[in-house]
Amino acid sequence: MSYPDWQEIRKSMWAGELDFPMIDEETPTFMGRSLVSRKEDLKGADVVIIGSPYVSSSTDEWAGVAKEHWLAAPKRVRQQSIRYQSGYIQDFRFNVFDHLNVVDYADADIPFEANVGKLNPDLILEAQAAVEKKVNDALDVGALPVVIGQNSPCGSYAIAKGVATHSDGNVGIVSLDTHWDIFRLCPQTKDPRIAGGFSWLYKTIEFHDNIHARNLVEIGPRGMLEASDVVEELLESGAMFYSSWDVRRQGIEAVCKGLDHAYNGTSAIYAHFDMDVLGGAGPAPGDILGELAEPIGLSDYECIRIAHELGLRGVDGFSFICIPPGSAVMYRVIVYIIMYMLAGKAIRECQVHTG
């Protein structure tokens, strides 16, 4: 799997002559936005970008792909974001940065030991806590945390927990994923405290009294991957489900209308984008996802369209896991998802202010 180094990327960028803040010698800030290193400097931010380089594997690979490529996602998404010269989105004739103060809060301080060797539940919880800290810092100042991660619980439950604990009412979840992630117990650790990659969604509902299946919208699972018992349990409890088969048959606008389900009776929304949902669709082959690839994947447009709709409706926490590794264009898809979501958020806020 070949991906260019930072100097090659810098030389080839349209924005190659621009100056922008750097997190380290290979990592620019997201879209060249201001770098913030202390919580007190987050005041006035509307959106806070946070990296979560964590992979839940006890070997050098995860899902058949070298771990280094998964861990590099927060850096590579930021690298690819720099090719865009501004926050002006032609589709909307609208500059996001004229309306939103977006800052980069760098990466969570995940312990090195959590990404090497045997999966240790205490180290996993320490890594999760590192992401929670940055997410809570953003939520404390009224900003939207956007976490660029790779595995659970650091790129999923850590954000859902923050939204739940900051909400006075119920929290809706919109989840895009190939897999429901509803094992009743994390199979990797067998530890009931861990909301891991196979179990984060089930554990989130279990752990928080203000998160219910009746306000879950699950989009993208398909095929023969799931045992029926827990899926049927959630559906009987009121969850809304659009398989990728349903997305194709009903159309993306019908799915966007169905997001109402997450908003009815809730005061906050958490959006979870597990990007293995792309599968074999979109601008890159599903095979780059290794064992995670499945047919009938959502397209890049469908993911971006849903993100934009979430921005228009309002979203309180947003995060990514399983970003397809090694493909520059797939990292650009993440940039688009974030920016089109933020365009929706900015448009919504402009409408509120103008009545």
The tens place of each residue's pLDDT in the chain, 355 residues long, gives 689 899 888 887 765 677 899 999 999 999 999 999 999 999 999 999 999 999 999 899 888 888 999 999 999 999 999 999 899 999 999 999 999 999 999 999 999 999 998 899 999 999 999 999 999 999 999 999 999 999 999 999 999 999 999 999 999 999 999 999 999 999 999 999 999 999 999 999 999 999 999 999 999 999 999 989 999 999 999 999 999 999 999 999 999 999 999 999 999 999 999 999 997 666 677 778 888 989 999 999 999 999 999 999 999 999 999 999 988 999 999 999 999 999 999 999 988 777 6
| 114 domain residue, yes or no | yes
| 3 domain residue, yes or no | no
| 2 domain residue, yes or no | no
| Amino acid occupying residue 217 | V
Rounded to whole angstroms, how far apart are CA atoms 100 and 261? 27
Pick from 111, 114, 153: nearest CA to 132: 153
| 164 domain residue, yes or no | yes
Name the one residue in this structure whose structure tokens are 């990296």: 51
Does the reported pTM lie above 0.95?
Answer: yes
Instruction: Give yes or no for a contact between 161 and 207, defined as CB atoms under 8 angstroms apart.
Output: yes
Which residues, in sequence order, are CB contacts of 191 under 8 Å at separation 6+? 121
> Could you list the residue range(s) of the whole structural domain that residue 350 is in?
20-354
| 303 domain residue, yes or no | yes
Q: How many helices (H) and strands (E) does the chain have?
A: 12, 15
| Radius of gyration for the chain, computed over Cα atoms and rounded to the nearest angstrom | 19
Please count the other Cβ atoms lying within 10 Å of the Cβ belonging to residue 173.
Answer: 27
Rounded to whole angstroms, how far apart are CA atoms 76 and 330? 10
CATH number at residue 104: 3.40.800.10
Rounded to whole angstroms, how far apart are CA atoms 52 and 131? 7
| 10 domain residue, yes or no | no
* Structural domains in the chain (count): 1
| 217 domain residue, yes or no | yes
Name the one residue in this structure whose structure tokens are 């958490």: 270
Instruction: Give yes or no for a contact between 73 and 331, defined as CB atoms under 8 angstroms apart.
Output: yes
| Amino acid occupying residue 227 | A
Burial label for 82, CB within 10 Å (0-12, 13-18, 19+), is buried
